Amino acid sequence: MIRAWSVFVAMPELPDIVVLTRSMNEVLPGRTIIDATVNQPKVLNKTVEVFISLITGRKIMQIRQRGKWILAELDKNLVLAFNLGMGGEIILHAAEEKPDPKKERVVLHLDNSKQLWIHFWWFGHVHLIESTEIHCHKQIGNLGVEPLSTEFSRGKLSDILSGRRGRIKSYLLDQRVIAGIGNVYIQDILWRARLHPERKANTLSDIDISLLHQAILVTLQEGIRYGGGPKEHDIWGNEGRYPEHYQVAYRTGKPCPRCQSIIEKIRVGSTTSYICPRCQT
Ligand SMILES: [Zn+2]
C-alpha cells in the first residue's frame, strides 16, 4: 500500500502550507466551531471527549504557518495545530455534504453552514494547545529557523551550516535546522545552488552559501506563486501548479534547463534526488 501510494502522495512543504494558510485566512477568521467529529482519535493530543468539549464554541481568530504546521489561533488562548503528514488536505465543504468516516480524520463543523474536512493518509496530527505552551510542544517547539522570515539571512545560513560534517541535503531537510523544506522543493533548491546533494555541508564556500541562500528563497517563493506543489490543495481544493515549473525535480531523462545534460535520479541516504550531473558535481 505504502509503495503504491508513495509515487503519488507527498508531504506538504512550506509553500504548500503558505498557500493553504492564506486560503484559510480568507474564509475562517470570525467563524465559530460548533461541533467536531473525530474519526481517528490517535491524531489528537487529547481524548476525543476533552477535544470536543474544548473546541466547541471556540472562535477562529487567524491562521499562521510555521514550518510544515498550520496554526489556527482560537479565542480563549487556544491554538489548533495541524500537521498534514503525508497526502494531507484541509478542504471546506457545505454542511449537507457527507464526509467518508474512513477517509476524513477530523471534521470541524462551523457556524456558517460549512464544515472543514481534515484528511491525511499517514503521520498527521490535529493538536489542541494552550497558546502559552506552544514553545513546549515536542515538534513545534523544536522547529528551526523559518526560511522566509527576516531572521533567515545569508549569515544565519552560514552559522547553521558551519562545522556540520554531514551531507548538505540532510541538514536542509532537518526540521530542527530549517523549518519547512521537504523532498520536493529541495530538488530545485540544490540545482539552483549548483550543489550535489551528497556535498558535505562544511565544505561550502562563501559563494556556495550565497547561492544556496538565494536558491532557498527563490524556490520557496516560486512554489507559493504557483499555488503549491504536486497533489497539494488550498481550502477550496485547487491543486498546486508548481510541477509545471519544475527545474530538475521529477524530470528524470529530460534535459537540464541550464545546460541540457540529461537529468538523473539517484539515491541519497533514504531519499530520492534528481540532479543535473553537469551542474551539480
Ligand atoms: Zn545542468
Cα of 187 vs centre of ligand 1, distance in Å, is 13
pLDDT attached to residue 121: 83
Cα of 197 vs centre of ligand 1, distance in Å, is 14
Cα of 10 vs centre of ligand 1, distance in Å, is 25
Please identify every stretch of the chain with a pLDDT value under 70, giving residue numbers as ranges.
1-9
Rounded distance between C-alpha atoms, residue 91 and residue 86, angstroms: 15
pLDDT attached to residue 44: 97
Cα of 264 vs centre of ligand 1, distance in Å, is 10
114-119 β-sheet, strand order: 33-38, 104-110, 114-119, 89-94
Give the chain's length. Answer: 281
CATH number belonging to the domain at 2-142, selected among 1.10.10.10, 3.40.50.2000, 3.40.50.920, 3.20.190.10? 3.20.190.10
pLDDT attached to residue 4: 40
| CATH number for the domain formed by residue range(s) 154-275 | 1.10.8.50
Cell of 224: 507559493
Cα of 272 vs centre of ligand 1, distance in Å, is 18
Rounded distance between C-alpha atoms, residue 19 and residue 250, angstroms: 22
3-class SS at 92?
strand
Cα of 203 vs centre of ligand 1, distance in Å, is 21
Cell 531572521 identifies what position?
151
pLDDT attached to residue 8: 55
Cα of 209 vs centre of ligand 1, distance in Å, is 19
Cell of 203: 565544505
Cα of 123 vs centre of ligand 1, distance in Å, is 35
Cα of 46 vs centre of ligand 1, distance in Å, is 50
Rounded distance between C-alpha atoms, residue 257 and residue 262, angstroms: 10
CA angle 234–237–71, rounded 5-degree value: 35
Cα of 219 vs centre of ligand 1, distance in Å, is 17
Cα of 246 vs centre of ligand 1, distance in Å, is 13
Strands 60-66 and 69-74: antiparallel
Same fold, 2-142 and 154-275: no
pLDDT attached to residue 7: 46
37-59 pLDDT, tens digit each: 999 999 999 999 999 999 999 99
Cα of 195 vs centre of ligand 1, distance in Å, is 11
Residue extents of the structural domains in the chain: 2-142, 154-275
Cα of 276 vs centre of ligand 1, distance in Å, is 5
pLDDT attached to residue 87: 84
